Amino acid sequence: MPRRGKVALTQFAIVLGLILIWELGVRAGLIDPFFFPAPSTLIARIGEWMSTADFWTDVSITLLETVLSFLAGIGIGTALGIWLGLSPFAAEVLQPFIKMFNAIPRILLGPIFVIWFGLGLTSKVALGVTLVLFVAFFNTFQGVREVNPVVLANARLLRASKSSLLRHVYLPSATTWILSSLRVSVGMAVMGAVVAEYLGSSAGLGHLIAQAEGVLDATGVFAGIIVLSAFVVALDAIVDRAEKRLLVWRPAPAHEA
């Protein structure tokens, strides 16, 4: 515990120090506030935003898009991973196509999704899904493939049916893999939502940043980035809790014991 306290304290000191240097640099005229607006202005801007209803609409829209693309991506990716993990034939057939799709820089799909689905929620979720899906897919696939053969043999000897195997053996085994990639998936979902908003939308945090950029308002861009970071950190904390709850059965890593 004292070590953890020390770590937190040092982290806090680094952040505080950086902010202080930045702020003083701007005030002393060493840093141009047009490119690097002072932290105090950023805080003031965020405070200003938080008092408007529009800002909270932006946040909730981005949150909704993130959650939807996260859930849909995990769902589709997991289903696909289980299917291909259990069917070597299908895996072999589909492998080159999956690799090809995964090789497409997803940002390029943004404009296409806007054309297909319009400027609303759907195009944002679609982009997020294409990002999350592959992370979930590859991890589930791996998890299903790497089920301990002894555990599997034992379950079969206890006369597990196909669906029982799926429910009690394959899925829990894949869950560890999916969960370990959850953080990456959340990041991907946020990225998908924000990038899609940035490319073309009428609301959301990405839209907010794009608007500020449009008028060369560095304060708005920086403030937007800070809000976005806080947003991701908050989601990360939720994922952390979910992971701890779902993986109680796993031995604690040696350094935490």
List interacting residues with another protein (CB under 8 A).
150-151, 153-155, 157-161, 164, 168-169, 172-173, 175, 248-251
**Smaller CB distance to another protein: residue 131 or 182?**
182
**Smaller CB distance to another protein: residue 122 or 175?**
175
**Smaller CB distance to another protein: residue 142 or 175?**
175
- 128 and 68 in contact (C-beta within 8 Å)? yes
CB of 49 to another protein, least distance (A): 44
**Smaller CB distance to another protein: residue 71 or 147?**
147
CB of 82 to another protein, least distance (A): 16
Q: Which amino acid is at 185?
A: S
**Smaller CB distance to another protein: residue 110 or 143?**
143
Q: Of 223, 242, 190, 183, nearest to 61 (Cα)?
A: 190
**Smaller CB distance to another protein: residue 5 or 251?**
251
Token representation of residue 15? 């952040």
CB of 255 to another protein, least distance (A): 16
Q: Of 163, 172, 93, 92, nearest to 140 (Cα)?
A: 172
Q: For residues 205 and 152, what is the distance between their CA atoms, to the nearest angstrom?
A: 46
CB-neighbour burial class of residue 181 (10 A; exposed 0-12, middle 13-18, buried 19+)? buried
What Rg value do the Cα atoms of the chain yield, rounded? Answer: 23
Q: Which residue has the tokens 């950029």?
A: 213
Token representation of residue 14? 């680094």
CB of 60 to another protein, least distance (A): 35
Q: Could you give the 3-state DSSP secondary structure of residue 29?
A: coil
